[in-house]
Amino acid sequence: MGDAENADWNEREFPEGAQELSDDFSRRDFLKLMGASAGLAGAGMLGVGCRRPEEHIVPFGSEQVAGQDYVHGVPMQFATAMPTRTGATPLLAVSNEGRPTKVEGNAKVAGRSATDSFAQASVLNLYDPDRARVYTKNDKAMPGGKASAIDQLKKISGKTAFLMPASTSPSRAALIGKIQEKMGENAAFYVHEAADFGVHARGAQAAFGEAVTPYWKLDQAEVILSLDCDFIGTEEGSARFAADFAKGRKVAKQNDGMNRLYSVEALLTQTGANADHRLRARATAIPAAAAFIAKALGKAISVPANALSEAQEKWLAGAAEDLKAHAGKSLVVAGYRQPESVHQLAHIINDALGNNGKTVTFHKTPANEFGSLADLASDLGKFDQVVNLGCNPVYDGGTDVDGKAITEKTTFRLTDYAEDESHSVKGVNAPRAHYLESWSDARTDDGTIVPVQPLIAPLFGAMTELEVLAVFAAGENTSPRTGHEVVQSTFTGDSWERYLHDGFLKDSGYEEATELTIANADVTVPPAQAEGLEAVFTLDYSVGDGSYANNGWCQEVPDPITKITWDNVLSVSRQTAQAAGLENGQLAKVKVGEDEVEGAVWVQPGQAEGTVGLTLGYGRAGKLRIANFKYEGQAEDIPVGGYNAYAVRGSSAVNVAQNVSVESTGKAYPLSSTQEHWSMEGRPIVREATLKEFRKDADFVDHMGLGAHARNEGPIYQHPYKERPRLASDMHQWGMSIDLSACTGCNACVIACQSENNIPIVGKDQVAKGREMHWLRIDRYYTGRDHDPRASAGFIKDEGQNGDDEQHTEEWIDDPQVVNQPMACQHCENAPCESVCPVNATVHDEEGLNVMVYNRCVGTRYCSNNCAWKVRRFNFFDYNKRPINDLYGSTAMLKPSILTDWITSREKSNRPEDEWDLVKLAKNPDVSVRMRGVMEKCTYCVQRIESTKIIKKAAAGMSDDVQVVDSDGLKTACQQVCAAEAISFGNLLEDGSEVNREKANPRNYETIDFLDNRTRTTYLAKLRNPNEQMPDAYKKPFSTKEYKAASGGHGDDAHGDHEEGSH
Amino acid sequence: MSNIFPKWTNRLPLILLVGGLVAGACVVAGVTYYFTPKYTRVGYEPIQPVAFSHEVHSGQMGIDCRYCHNDVDKSWFSNIPSAETCMKCHTQVLADDPRLAPIRESFEKNKPLPWVQIHKTPDYVYFNHAVHVNRGVSCVSCHGKVNEMDVVKHSKSLSMAFCLDCHRNPHENVRPQDEVFNLNWEPPAEWDSEREGKGLVDQMKIRSAESCSSCHR
């Protein structure tokens, strides 16, 4: 719709005039009428009153309004892109009746339909109730809205500083060029991002003397060494890296090759969690480690003395040998947290190995010509005013930037939120448009130009940065161009329509720089801090730099490493915690120089000694109801929303700060973790082997667990198809396979599932009670080299005696191996949940789905109790209709008005008005929104299955071509978003379907197979590829060792052989 | 001191029992009759903002259903035509008829007409028009002979039992695809649903699902 009249129609329940009493109407008439209608209402209980209220169908007046291709009820997809700091994520955004509800990766551009978790969560930002809704000046709403804001912009004259977030938009660059031309000295531009990824370009510039940016090709590398580079997690463009890395991990046949990842890092990152060999090193020792490798490869680099221990040197020497053995097929990558010198060393090493041009190529990228926020802070006196195009300097500017001074000089600010840290009281605050409301463009990491096109008119009349800049670029008497005009004028291709349709401009990538030579082999390696604590600042896996802090999906998604929701923590290693007297879950004060901040301590397995990990993005101020979420009954002295790490982050030490002290305050702090127990306790839930073992014994998974025994006993539960054979469909039987070797544990699937399936968030206190609603979770287990589950047996003993509370004091956690396992409903064929439901609310369907019937469910929760995987989620409260800080309600619920409200308007919710409208817009119309008291769980995205079947059937007409096959493009939400392509889903009855191919892999196994539930979701065992020459080599993965120890050698190879022979 | 209770009280338990049973039976019968879609929906015949007659347009003039409901074979939703569709003819025919004033206004001012919804499945039912009308199920199966209705009324219950009746016996309701929009189609004399109907079911591989997931998601 869109125009005001239509909106009016939508809001009205009755046609105009039906609600108003316009006639002369006496009191007597009124009472008569009321009496009569009351009588009718009573009679109505047995008659017509039982009919539903009258509802209207409102077609368009004219078809032009809707657009030619619009078919009501058929979702449309539009190509657009989400701009990121250094690139853009090309997307296909799904629009349901004009509401964008979901985004998918644009496979035409990136070659995959995957995105990272932030792109998935970005949809919710569009419907954030705290978004700025009105244009304000002097904190008063501007009646003219956007038009008067533009008038204000036109009045700006004098020296103006523009503060902008990073962007790759060619249109923005063109506008800036025009403004510079027009305003000359009067305009200056500054770019600010809390995390600076420019170091990749600066490092390459330092090494080669040319303005180039490295472009890693991890799929070409057989051996990868990461120098504090979290390319799977916090690096920009991680989806592509994860995809390329995973390509080298999917082993199907015994002679398949597999890549090997070495990781040197201080914090346990996702990349370290996926490494075959991992070295814990302090962040300041990593330059020395890079220098050591360069030296081992024969380069004349001096290694700082005493930076590395003997054991570390041995490890690095081993890694260097392996790199040398794979010259030209290896890759050394340096992370954004490391200084320029480490990047320079990485290029020198890659050059020495002959990797440049093979596993890493270089793009000629435009050099950054803009100042930083720190530059602006020092230049501030020169300017008459600041125009802020979306930065939040008071929050993330760091300790030595006076963000307040910048804010005071700000006369115009584009802002996401009505009231946040950098809210400018005097100036104009203009709502900033979400990318799904904006016209813009951007370049992906390889330089391909992609359009950003709006799917919806700005919900609150918001403006884009291009529109603001266009005002400055416009001539005196010309009116500024719209975002659409700006983008179209920058477009250089042949067909604008094709550009928008495909979502990219062909052959517009950056030019590749070839024949680069090391111009500067002389690297000054900064010395390491030998003693004392150092602080490492890192972007948060869930909320990034804080721009996703008010996004409920991001807050509630468990951190992939700590599994903590709604908070950030001060991570320390076990020994550092003991030395500093820190307790898990207690508040501690971190002092960096003069500044201090108080956060909760988390003893993190696998973290380097002498390192405190501080996570950015939390501790926000302002009116942000999610970021500052306070649960019902939260004590006053418990801080909300985590701590603000920017408060101790200076511009001289943005990534690593030295001379840090940590002191416990002794106060306990409640943390909500979704997985409190760290160990698998020797059970073969995740099965692992080394590549060597796999080559020797491809069927190693069958020699673990008790599956072989159980099969002969027969299932405990009766197979539904045996009871009712007619039930089984001969056309479709669905199944899923998840490759644990490929899965990196990145959380994108969890958020994609949440977005697709209307899954609510529940709040920090409810997560602590285990009531989170995620249909798909990722289990993360730590396994230890010398961890014998029988010796510590954490969860079996009482708390306090090596129970969950004490696990962080155990030695085996120092150098753990990490395994991830996505866990959702397994769709058992002999499902234990089905046999205990007293009301048949969970049953099998023809196609092998274990379905949940919400209308039948009475909430006994027997099914959840009988589920071995604990994947069923119960709606303890009305999470959709109540605000999450008011779930319990109060005696107000007993008021009669509740009943009358319900009768008059059943749509009513307890949510504030401003939330309720937006909450409804964000929902997927193809999935029921569940109410209080019902159970729910993964459905294999049944709405996608059914819609694919329907499309196929509708196209088939009278023919029998109705079997859904892989080429019909059916994908579950988790499968579609998975960059690593770890998830396969499809029809088990289709010969050669992807899922059948995956299930034929010898690594295929069922979890908890001894129950013989015949799960439709199976897993491919994880493979590790250790190097036998390394000092920390291992013959078996630690989990396999734990399994053997716990099962008393039951499952060892000899037994396996015996088993095969005897049964 | 006797006869506190008169003699008829001896029969009180029986009276109560019988009375209770009768009352209970009445309530049960009342609920089963009055609370079912057969009572609450069938016959619903609301007054529409414009007195459009399907009998005239579809019955007498023989306009195909899809001339107006043109998305019925593409979407789950069978669209109500925009005023523009009406105006394709009514700029020529009855161009100045006062009964069509709301249509003209809607078209000129792009002001939607609030047609009253007659057929509606609950929110938790995901019925899809496209898959039915493309696969040999006629409009008439669920909507009755709309082409004979001057004012459209709800003619079938559209209850879950109604859906399942057909999903369990699809051969009784499928027809050749050419006849789906022919509401007057009668099976020819030699048509035997056991033979022709089942033949169609086999030919089209119709597996009308009976489990919950086919309609509820």
A737-764 residue pLDDT tens: 999 999 999 999 999 999 999 999 999 9
Q: Complex ipTM, two decimals? A: 0.90
Residue of B nearest to A12 (CA): B114
Structure tokens at A42: 């009573």
Contact A57 B80 (CB under 8 A): yes
**A369 close contact with B: CB closer than 8 A:** no
pLDDT of residue A40: 47
What's the pLDDT score for residue A303?
86
Task: Say which residues have a Cβ less than 8 Å from residue A463's Cβ, sequence separation at least 6.
Answer: A146, A149, A414, A430, A431, A432, A433
Q: How many A/B residue pairs have CB atoms within 8 Å?
A: 169
Residue A577: what pLDDT? 92
Split at pLDDT 50, 70, 90, the class of B148 is very high
Residue of B nearest to A953 (CA): B131
Nearest residue of A to residue B71, measured between CA atoms: A71
Q: Flag if B79 and A59 touch (Cβ within 8 Å).
A: yes
For residue A853, which residues of chain B lie inside 8 Å, CB to CB?
A: 212, 216
- Crossing angle of helices A199-208 and A340-352, in 10° steps, is 50
Q: Measure CB to CB from residue B116 to each of A56, A65, A928 and give the nearest one.
A: A56
Q: Do A958 and B41 touch (CB under 8 A)?
A: no
Pairing of strands A850-852, A842-844: antiparallel
Higher pLDDT, A716 or A643: A643
Q: How far is CA A337 from CA A118, A444, A447, A646, in A?
A: 20, 22, 24, 15
pLDDT band at A221 (very low <50, low <70, confident <90, very high): very high
Q: Which two tokens stand for residue B10?
A: 């001896």
What is the tens place of the pLDDT at every residue in A101-140? 999 999 998 888 899 999 999 999 999 999 999 999 988 8
Residue-level pLDDT at A546 = 92
What integer pLDDT is reported at residue B38 of this predicted model? Answer: 83
Report the pLDDT value the prediction gives residue A712, as an integer from 0 to 100.
Answer: 63
Suggest the residue from A57, A97, A732, A758 to mutate for an interface test with chain B (most B CBs closer than 10 A). Answer: A57
In which band, very low, low, confident or very high, does the pLDDT at A59 lie, cut at 50, 70 and 90?
A: confident
In angstroms, the separation between the Cα of residue B117 and the nearest Cα of chain A is 5
B127 reaches A (C-beta below 8 A)? no
Contacts 24+ apart (CB under 8 A), B161-167: B162/B37, B163/B215, B164/B210, B166/B137, B166/B141, B166/B208, B167/B208, B167/B209, B167/B210, B167/B214
Query: How far apart (Å, rounded) are the C-alpha atoms in residues A168 and A179?
Result: 17
CB contact under 8 A, B177 and A73: no
DSSP A747: S
Interface residue A47 vs chain B (CB under 8 A): yes
Query: Contacts of residue A15 in chain B, CB cutoff 8 Å?
Result: 49, 114
Whether the per-residue pLDDT at A1057 is higher than 60: the answer is: no
A897 pLDDT band, cuts 50/70/90, is low
Please determine, for residue A226, whether its predicted confidence score (pLDDT) is greater than 70.
yes
Q: Do residue A71 and residue B83 have CB atoms under 8 angstroms apart?
A: no
Q: How far apart are CA B124 and CA B131, in angstroms?
A: 18
The dihedrals phi and psi of B133, each to the nearest 5 degrees, come to -75, -15
By C-alpha distance, the chain B residue nearest A732 is B207
Q: Which of B77, B116, B207 sits opposite A73 (nearest CB)?
A: B77
Position with higher pLDDT, A939 vs B4: A939
Q: Is B214 in contact with A845 (Cβ distance < 8 A)?
A: yes
pLDDT (tens digit per residue) in B82-136: 888 999 999 998 988 999 999 999 888 888 899 999 998 888 999 999 999 999 9
Q: Are A282 and A227 in contact (CB under 8 A)?
A: no
pLDDT at site A892: 53
Lowest mean pLDDT segment, chosen from A88-92, A269-273, A392-396, A520-524: A520-524
Q: Which residue, B130, B126, B161, is CA-closest to A928?
A: B126
- Which residues of chain B are within 8 Å of residue A731 when distances are taken between CB atoms? 205, 207
Q: What is the model's pLDDT at position A45?
A: 46
CA of A598, closest CA in chain B: separation in Å?
46
Cβ–Cβ < 8 Å for A390, A85? no
Chain B interface disruption, residue of A13, A50, A62, A827, most B CBs within 10 A: A62
What mean pLDDT do residues A45-65 have? Answer: 68
Q: What is the mean pLDDT of chain A?
A: 87
Shortest Cα distance, chain B CAs vs residue A456, angstroms? 20
- Whether the predicted pLDDT of A535 surpasses 90: yes
Cβ density class B26-39: b for 16+ within 10 Å, e for less: eeeeeeeeeeebbb
Q: Please, which residues 897-936 of chain A have a Cβ atom closer than 8 Å to chain B?
A: 926-928
Nearest alpha carbon to residue A754 among A288, A107, A321, A121: A121
Chain A contact for B216 (CB, 8 A cutoff): yes
pLDDT (average), residues A619-625: 91
Which residues of chain B neighbour A843 with C-beta distances below 8 Å?
Answer: 211-212
Give A410-423 pLDDT, tens digit per residue. 999 999 999 888 88
Residues 698-757 of A with CB under 8 A from B: 727, 729-731
Sequence-distant (6+) residues with CB within 8 A of B9 are none
pLDDT at position A800: 44
Name the range with the highest mean pLDDT among A20-24, A526-530, A647-651, A1054-1058.
A647-651
CA angle A296, A302, A308 (to 5 degrees): 75
Residue A32: pLDDT band (50, 70, 90) is: low
Q: In this complex, do B116 and A846 lie within 8 Å of one another by their Cβ atoms?
A: no
Stretch A400-406: mean pLDDT: 89
pLDDT over 90 at A229, yes or no: yes
**Which amino acid, residue A201?**
A
Give tens-digit pLDDT for B53-84: 999 999 999 999 999 999 999 999 999 998 88
C-alpha of A197 from chain center: 19
Interface touch B204/A942, C-beta < 8 Å: no
Tell me the three state secondary structure of residue B189.
coil
Question: Chain A residue with minimal CA distance to B209?
Answer: A846
Residue B43, chain A, CB below 8 Å: the answer is: no
**Inter-chain residue contact A855 with B216, CB threshold 8 Å:** yes
The verdict on a CB contact (< 8 Å) between A61 and B114 is no
To the nearest whole Å, the CA of A78 is away from the closest chain B CA by 18
Q: Which residues of chain A make contact with B212, given a CB cutoff of 8 A?
A: 843, 845, 851, 853
- A360, A304 in Cβ contact below 8 A? no
Q: Which domains are seen in chain A, by residue range?
A: 1-70 (no CATH), 136-196+368-491 (3.40.50.740), 202-364 (3.40.228.10), 533-673 (2.40.40.20), 714-776+824-877+927-1024 (3.30.70.20), 1034-1063 (no CATH)
Nearest by Cα to A429 from A158, A83, A122, A131: A131
Helices A170-183 & A483-490 angle (0-180, nearest 10) = 100
